[in-house]
Amino acid sequence: MPSRLLTLATAVSGAAAAFQGFNYGSTFTDGRPKSQTDFENEFKTAAGLEGTNGGFTSARLYTMVQGGTGSDPISAIPAAIKTKTSLLLGLWASAGQASFNNELSALKKTIDSYCGQLDGLVAGISVGSEDLYRISPIGQAASPDPGASPTQLVNYIKEVRNTLKGSCLEKTPIGHVDTWTAYVNETNKPVIDAIDFIGMDAYPYYENTKPNGLENAVKLFQAAIDNTKSTSGGKPIWITETGWPTSGPKDGSAVPGLDAAQTFWREVGCPMFGVTNVWWFTFQDGAPTVPSPAFGVIGSTLTTKPLYDLSCDGYKNKPSTSQPVSSKTSAQSQDPPATSQTQKPTTSVPVVSQPTTQSTTQETEAPGNTTQGQSTAAPVTTLSTGTGGGGVVSTINGGTTFIPPGTSTGTGSQPTVPPNAGSKLNAFAGVAAGVVMAVAAL
């Protein structure tokens, strides 16, 4: 099975070499914004992880804005320049236009301040993270952020392209990150049409409406890639989040643990590393406190000694190394297509109904049992997700949601970005069987 993943990874990558790294949050779990020194220490530690041969030298970010400021660039950028860490930059898009304007301002300031130092260090720019999930009706009930509709995201992408014109980042690939289930929802196709790469988040651990034990993890991950690829229009697929928890609650048949996390790393990660762009979830998802479930390859203290063996000996065919391909794709020379929006959000936390004539994928991050996968093409299934540690449970639009520790829930212009993820409790299990079968048949 690992060789099958390797073959597919090569097919969806579209690059001779690849970026390889982890996801990094902007704050600690107690809410403190990370400083440049904090990011430098994290990046250096990740690059020195035992068993990885110094291969994890890229970082995916969720926001351009430094915590505690209006629109100053995140301190991860000068930290990356100093440590020669490549970046998948991210603009938070689930907090409305005022917040996104701050993201654009931080992007402009980044260009003005650092353009001469970023050569070869920017893998791409992601406009948003799981916003299409949040805009679904169940996502609306489960998330403290309003999400963003396809129309909003396309407009945001246009704004980013305009911001980059004439700068050192003009040719940087622009994409979007979302749950793989969002990409198979045809309502969201305008976003795929507008981007250069597809950032896919997929967690077999959470697919609890299926047999999701570790023995089926490779198969479920493979299905996520296959289904995403079927709707990608030939655009490259980057793996922006995946992983298996080292601790936490059982979810369906999936059981967290160090041995399980190591097996997932070897059988899912190793065949892709160096072949396609991968940002693993995650380097350190809890400091000073560790959440539940916990996905970090290290614990709450920075150390180059991982919680489990990260070597890939015998689990991949080592590809030849070369510089990552960062050339402009054909999609970048075209303006994103215009798209209509069925129901335009009118409030800061809108309730958006999907058209009843389309098969829609709906997900939730809410703890407990939640209606899942409502679609005119398939029966409703149910989803159960675990909660993280150290956060609070809040009622949003009549539903409940777990708010990660350190997350702002204000309604101002500051982005409400979770400390170490866009949303860890992704509901990948809820794609109804009829929708998956229909997409797989394309």
Tell me which residues are annotated as active site: 130, 241
Amino acid at 91: L
Q: Do 176 and 158 form a contact (C-beta atoms < 8 A)?
A: no
Q: How many C-beta atoms surround the C-beta of residue 38 within 10 A?
A: 19
Give residue 76's identity as a one-letter amino acid code.
A
**SS3 state of residue 251:** strand
Cis previous bond, 306, omega within 30: no
Provide the CB-side half-sphere exposure for 139 (13 A, CA).
Answer: 32
Residues 6+ apart with CB under 8 A from 112: none
DSSP 345: -
User: Cα–chain-centroid distance for residue 366?
Assistant: 18
CA distance 164 to 107: 9
Q: How far is residue 110's CA from residue 69's CA, in Å, rounded to a whole number?
A: 14
Annotate 375-400 with b (16+ C-beta within 10 A) or e (fewer).
beebeebebbbbbbbbbeeeebbebb
Cα 284 to Cα 99: distance, rounded to the nearest angstrom:
26
